[in-house]
Structure 1
């Protein structure tokens, strides 16, 4: 139960951070291009890399709880792309290059296809 609370609390903070960052970016750079999403994804992935690298070296005893709250919760709520990036690098570092490439291709293609299918399924439905 404690793990769920740590992830949930961190996720709420991360989601609010994503909304705030996207709002600020959108005000300064209004565009049809999803710049806010791109910047949040890049920033979240950078922050995830810095945090995990630091956590492993500096605070191994806190690693499980800190990973739940910060990495999975906060950064996961800020951008799930950071989790995707971490999983991808973990596969590469374990030498699983084919699995990493497959994971990248499937994550992008199947996620986009899933969203499109969801839209197709609901577009004909009455409001």
Structure 2
């Protein structure tokens, strides 16, 4: 869900960036409220900590690094998906 949420938040940011008429409050609601509630960082943190506590250091490290990389890529993809809407 984190990657899907990253794509969605990137899409919303991309649409808002190309539209001067977009309400700042509406953008904050969708980015922070909806996407923030959909992708909880606490779940990611708990899963990473559980792996590290089980001494699965390689798996835990890969999970942390790949989650961040894929979520950043998701935001980029979402923004690019929004480009044709400008």
- How much has 1:80 moved relative to structure 2? 0.9
Q: Which of the numbers 108, 120, 126 marks the counterpart of 2:68?
A: 108
- Greater relative CO, 1 or 2 (CA 8 Å, sep 6+): 2
- The total of aligned residue pairs comes to 51
2:48 aligns with 88
Matches within 5 A, 1:2-81: 77=37, 80-81=40-41
Gaps of 5+ in 1: 1-75
2:85 aligns with 126
Gaps of 5+ in 2: 1-35
The secondary structure found in structure 2 opposite 1:95 is coil
1:97 and 2:57 matched: yes
CA distance in 1, matches of 2:69, 2:78: 14
Bigger radius of gyration: 1
TM-score, structure 2 as length reference: 0.52
Alignment RMSD (CA, Å): 2.2
CA distance in 2, matches of 1:101, 1:87: 11
TM-score, structure 1 as length reference: 0.36
